[in-house]
Chain A
């Protein structure tokens, strides 16, 4: 299949699992050596070379490996994870998918993928909602014939988060 088509299907499938709270299945889409980061973003002056400014290299909202992601998923399965029980209503809108050239590395076939993300969240019976907008910079790796998420850096379009926690994945 055309790799772009495969990757779009991967991202949509992933969004479906996250929106439906199927976190254990979502975990199986990640590699053992996954690095998942949401850096803190600060207001800074415009970088002369253009591009993103103010993405902290030192502090994160999430900086996870497979073990810590597994811990977060296990937590959600305890029945006592009040931040998501009752669960948020989430919708991951994935757009502007840009697929790089797949290449062979010592770890296997890998491809860089960038996508835009808008996450809608509402909780309880309140009419208010939060929106988080971001770009995701992913590295996908083909393992046993299927793509898996090996690295994700989520560049938030926000300095101060408008939400009371990040109890879900982006």
Chain B
């Protein structure tokens, strides 16, 4: 390896000065190291419990290039297994989603119960004899699996800290969404999946700290009156990071002078339920004042929850909520898994409108996200170019801003969103893992 140590050293030397080497966004060696040091040791989002609601329900999900069957057993417990027959390595699950009590390998017929137990081997006695014990040959479970408020995460490292320890104070922010109603969330359907030639860190950047880009990237939506006319609206609100963890949130309220309804514009009944459901009074008070909320959990899970109208003529806001995974495929290449989410106990009319708000603005055809992915592709291409990769990006925004002593939530909060503070914190954690 030649490039990776140099790029990481440049990052380490430049980060506190707000200098990030472009090359880390599209470098084969950096990516190889990320596979080993980041994605083989981090909690990675796999699925939502509502995707596997009933016994036997399964979905196929990935950490790096490992395919996992995330399946709810007959006992109601969610498990995740490597989709690889123990005999000769064939995929035993032949669909992206479904319901099955058993998985039968199409190669030689080994059959596994949906709790991973090997229960059938054709001609077992004749072919394998007395010494063979099926108990030793069940599907391989993911080293670690954890569920929190319906969010299911996996970890390839058996020695990894608990999910709760990993999230730390980010949990307080996740709960602004996950504990908004006693019933919790559900998916609006299967995820949209699409491939973008960019780096997972660049995609994440937009969702962890970059309100600044709305001005120009999403200018078309400002012109249509979908994004606020006050193009600086996104500078308001708080940007919060969790030191040592890499997570970051943006909590944007109503800009001065704007008349936006409280609590994202959710219906009154949902607001009442949230008030009773939030674990703390502070969470309710922050939620009440929030209009746009983004949260990114290190390394590659983001959620976005803005106040929004489902189209330019619709009279009232119908907020949307999306979960996404920036799934790394290679240097400068990702697959986006994008889910539309909604509160399970929301009224049906609202769920339908929330689905539209999501589809028309985010995801594969989203009028916001389609400009994001276009721009991210070009940045990654430049970052991989022979001259471009030697340059440094400017991460100096907001370096002189002092933290907000009055913010009621945990973490370190800054009273303005035009800052790269969340990213500098993200890269501190990134460096710690890449060098450790």
Partners in one complex: yes
Which of A74, A83, A163 has the largest number of chain B CB atoms within 10 A?
A: A83
Asked if B223 contacts A80 (CB within 8 A), the reply is yes
Task: With A45-B95, A75-B220, A75-B224 as known contacts, state yes or no: A81 contacts B364, CB within 8 Å.
Answer: no
Asked if B193 contacts A159 (CB within 8 A), the reply is yes
A-B contacts, 8 listed (Cβ < 8 Å): A40-B189, A43-B95, A44-B96, A56-B189, A62-B365, A72-B367, A75-B220, A167-B365
Count of CB-CB pairs between chains A and B under 8 Å: 127
**How many chain A residues touch B (Cβ–Cβ < 8 Å)?**
36
Q: How far is the CA of A61 from the CA of B94 in the complex (A)?
A: 23
A78 on the interface (CB 8 Å rule)? yes
Q: Which of A56-72 contact B (CB under 8 A)?
A: 56, 58-64, 67-68, 71-72
Q: Which of B183-197 contact A (CB under 8 A)?
A: 188-197
Asked if B97 contacts A78 (CB within 8 A), the reply is no
B210 on the interface (CB 8 Å rule)? no
Asked if B356 contacts A83 (CB within 8 A), the reply is no
Asked if B364 contacts A83 (CB within 8 A), the reply is no
Q: How far is the CA of A160 from the CA of B365 in the complex (A)?
A: 13
Asked if B190 contacts A165 (CB within 8 A), the reply is no
If A61-B364, A82-B374, A165-B369 are given as contacts, then 17 extra A-B residue pairs at C-beta distance below 8 Å, sorted by A number, are A40-B191, A44-B95, A58-B190, A67-B314, A68-B310, A71-B313, A78-B223, A80-B223, A159-B96, A161-B192, A162-B194, A164-B197, A164-B198, A164-B374, A165-B194, A166-B370, A167-B374
Residues in B whose Cβ lies below 8 Å from that of A43 = 94-96
Residues of A within 8 A of B (CB): 38, 40, 42-45, 54, 56, 58-64, 67-68, 71-72, 74-75, 78-83, 159-167
Q: How far is the CA of A167 from the CA of B197 in the complex (A)?
A: 16
Nearest CB on A from B85, distance (A):
17
Asked if A44 contacts B193 (CB within 8 A), the reply is no
Q: How far is the CA of A80 from the CA of B218 in the complex (A)?
A: 8
Residues in B whose Cβ lies below 8 Å from that of A58 = 188-190
Q: How far is the CA of A71 from the CA of B217 in the complex (A)?
A: 17
Asked if B373 contacts A75 (CB within 8 A), the reply is no
Residues in B whose Cβ lies below 8 Å from that of A83 = 370-371, 373-374
